[in-house]
Chain A
Amino acid sequence: MSLGLAFAAILMVAFAAAWAGFARGKRLRTAGRLHSLPVYHGAYAALWAAIPALLLIAAWAPIQSRLVDQSVLSSPEGRALPSFEMQRDSILSEAREIAFGQREQGFNPQSTTLAPRIKAEESRFALIGGVGAIALALLGAALALRRSAPQFRARAGVERWLMILLVAASLIAILTTLGILLSLMFESLRFFRLYPVQSFIFGLEWSPQTAIRADQAGSSGAFGAIPLMWGTFFVGAIIAMIVAVPLGLMSAIYLTQYAHPTVRAWLKPILEILAGVPTVVYGYFAALTVAPAVRDLGLSLGISSASSESALAAGLVMGIMIIPFISSMADDSIAAVPQAMRDGSLAMGATRSETIRRVLLPAALPGVIGGVLLAVSRAIGETMIVVMAAGLAANLTANPFASVTTVTVQIVQLLTGDQEFDSAKTLAAFALGLALFLITLLLNLIALHVVRRYREQYE
């Protein structure tokens, strides 16, 4: 029996309990005055049947895989395995794939002999867990049904369960945040045990390929993050913002201050389409159309180092992607400026552009800056455009026609393809992820703080 089957069985028990509770409630209603509607008696029984049992299954699944591993290793076939951990793990995972029918035959003959054992243990423990969960469901249903009586407050019971569900749902957000932080920190700590922290943060060289032969060039296994940070900053915070801030700000000003309402009604959704286009599409466009054009431009300007994977191509396209974001943030902050200030300026005889430049923009500036910070945080976390258009070479250069690499590109690069989970290369990706997470978190916090304080000023 698999856990999926147990899941279905629990749902069936819950339905049966709901029906039984409902029927019982209806019978009780003819007997006398009922505190709760029959529906609540049914729901009460169903919730008691389903929730504890489902929790048990959810908790059992990870325990089960560990128990299976343990008993497989202690079986005669398992003890015959090599004691070297990495070799053993690869045989085990191969055997697991054979046992679940994902592959026909393993490279290692031992995995084929191990597969039936894994399958047997897997079904044994699944049976234990499944039967236990179903028994719990039946028990919960029986207890709940026994309690239903005319004066029983089934509705209060149901509402208590609902309240628990509501709190649990909102705790998932905290759990996710904690999960991100803990998993990134845990793996990063393992990385920093292999590689010193200060050389990661201040190192000027990034070449994660560890050398196989001593005389191999360009593969020193250096994990200095400065070139990546600079590349990320250069593409996301400089080039993209040079494109996005003026265009986004002017678009917002034009759409809110000048455009006719019908024109605005058409243009605003069109701008928003730009934000809805999947980033992989932008990446493809940047790599296929923009990058060659940028390289030709660079060559015609006499820059011989112009690369077909340039910072400029990625930054330009990223800037375009960010325009609607900046535009809507600027829109909000301009709209929040009190009408009286605008009217006062116009009444003094200022033209509209003078009002905008001298009164509205200075007043809206904190909000605009907050919006730009949020946009920067989004741009440096953006992955697909830079993966497809910005290149892999970790250059510490300010030449926009040269190829730079970013944190996100390297994370993708380190974690795709063949990998073992313990190597410094793989763990380095988590350290980069932690750095990225902390930087974007900081930017977001500052931005939200700026925006909020500024909003309060006018409210």
Chain B
Amino acid sequence: MLKRVSRRYAAERRFRLLGLFAVGVSVLFLAFLLYSMAAKGLGGFVHYEAALPIDFARSDLMIDPASLRGPDAQQTVASADLETAISQAATATYGDRAAEMFGDGAVNALTKEILQRPQILSGRTTLWLPLGSKLDIAAKHRGDAHSEQLVEMLRTKHALRSSFNGGFLTASDSTDPSSVGVWGALKGSFLTILVTILLAFPVGVLAAVYLEEFAARNRWTDAIEVSINNLAAVPSIIFGLLGLAVFLNVMNLPRSAPLVGGMTLALMTMPVIVIAGRNAIKSVPPSIRDAALGVGASKMQVTFHHVLPLALPGILTGTIIGMARALGETAPLLMIGMRAFIATPPGGIADPATVLPVQIFLWSDEVDRGFVEKTSAAIIVLLLFMLLMNGLAIYLRNRFERRW
């Protein structure tokens, strides 16, 4: 008897441990995922710079200092062959093998420096310029033997320092990993989400109000409900196909534009908002409606003056969660052509653009090893935005939602 009881208790303990194990696996996986992204990606926010003495007076650069004060300053500098100048200066200081020490990142930095302080063009200055991708990897982890040697030499000469890579947050896509940034993709994401929220929020809220407050129980209402519930579970890539077939091929809207991306994502997020909205409206007690009707308000007034404001925090919470999902969505946007290489941030909702998740996908396909940490760094940026939005949703829920 006692033996049997102890056996049963042992089974109980095993079962309980199994449960703990299951939760533990999930939590550990999440921790591992976040840790591996952070470990790989934090390096993307830091880059190594090397000191480079440049003698502008003796270089072949043909920049007229007078034109730098004019409105075409940007163009003047861009048309000058800075790359050769940097390469020459590098070989002069560090020997022949340093010719390809710097990449596009250094050219951008030098352009900025010249525009800010044109007087440096007249003499010899030492500038700290970001290293090219190969050497940057060698300085951080380990690269090929050639780059390692160069980095070692720079270290012994105290010509190497690491600093925050501000360009990563302000630059756009590029073919050279040392000069890429997420700003273009972030701006594309903002514009896309803006279109999404402008379309999905009003439509979703109005549909929820109709279904909860006005709809008669008939076949039409059933059809609407069934299609909303189904749309919420349709794979996102199908919405991409819809966008491609309808928005691009039938309506002839511009390809790769945040407008089309936002419209596609709006169709995808609307059911989520409707479902959240209905739950929020349902939780407003009937006594509120009765009281308002009792003092002579019309049904519309009851809904828009009393029920909707009380349900709004719940609706907003659902909306933000839906928007966070739309922000992380990749597949439907690939379908409508938002995967092109776009080096300038979009100026409006009809310009070609890319979004952050698609940018991550594109970088993950690059062969260049420098893109690995950039991809992870972009993922960190994306996860931060997700965290921010979900945090906002939780805050709204705790701060404003009332239990009746």
Interfacial residues, chain A to chain B (CB-CB below 8 A): 61-62, 65, 102, 155, 158-159, 162-163, 165-167, 169-174, 176-177, 179-180, 183-184, 186-187, 246-251, 253-255, 257-259, 267, 269-271, 273-274, 276-285, 287-289, 320, 323-324, 351-354, 356-357, 374, 377-378, 380-384, 387-388, 408, 411-412, 415-416, 421, 429-430, 433, 436-437, 440-441, 444-445, 448
Contacts and interface: CB of A to CB of B under 8 A. Distances in A.
Contacts of B334: 412, 415-416
B29 interface: yes
A430 B22 CA distance: 39
Contacts of B298: 155, 159
Given A247-B22, A320-B26, A353-B11, A169 B238 contact: no
Interface stretch (B129-137, B142-150, B220-228): B220-228
Given A172-B270, A183-B245, A274 B235 contact: no
The A contact surface, by secondary structure, is helix
Contact of B235 (A354, A388, A408, A445): A408
24 contacts: A102-B352, A166-B209, A173-B227, A184-B242, A247-B22, A251-B19, A267-B27, A273-B30, A274-B26, A276-B328, A277-B328, A277-B386, A279-B328, A280-B328, A283-B361, A284-B360, A284-B364, A351-B8, A352-B16, A381-B238, A416-B339, A436-B238, A441-B230, A444-B233
A433 B237 contact: yes
A417 B242 CA distance: 18
Contacts of B375: 284
Interface stretch (B79-87, B158-166, B248-256, B286-294): B248-256
Contacts, number: 245
A281 B19 contact: no
Given A166-B214, A170-B211, A270-B30, A254 B234 contact: no
A34 to B, nearest CB: 15
A249 B19 CA distance: 9
B23 A251 contact: yes
Nearest to B363: A284
Interface string B194-236: 0000000011101101110011000000011001111101111
B25 interface: yes
Contacts of A269: 394
Interface string B47-80: 0000000000000000000000000000000000
A253 to B, nearest CB: 5
Interface in B6-53: 8-9, 11-12, 15-16, 18-23, 25-27, 29-30, 33, 36-37
- 6 tightest A-B contacts by CB? A381-B235, A254-B19, A278-B328, A250-B22, A169-B206, A353-B15
A429 B331 CA distance: 14
B27 A173 contact: no
A178 B97 CA distance: 64
B206 A173 contact: no
The B contact surface, by secondary structure, is helix
Given A170-B224, A289-B36, A62 B251 contact: yes
B135 to A, nearest CB: 23
B401 interface: no
Contacts of A170: 206-207, 210-211, 215, 224
Given A353-B12, A383-B237, A253 B300 contact: no
A215 B328 CA distance: 44
A280 to B, nearest CB: 4
B328 A61 contact: no
Nearest to B13: A353
A383 B335 CA distance: 11
A411 B329 CA distance: 16
Given A169-B202, A267-B23, A448 B18 contact: no
Nearest to A426: B244
B15 A356 contact: yes
A162 B305 CA distance: 14
A388 B30 contact: no
Contacts of A277: 33, 328, 383, 386
A329 to B, nearest CB: 13
B331 A384 contact: yes
A258 B17 CA distance: 10
B235 A183 contact: no
Contacts of A155: 298
Contacts of A356: 15
Contacts of A382: 235
Among B215, B231, B233, find the residue whose CB has the most chain A CB atoms closer than 10 A. Answer: B233
Contacts of A176: 227, 231, 242, 267, 270
Among B15, B20, B244, find the residue whose CB has the most chain A CB atoms closer than 10 A. Answer: B15
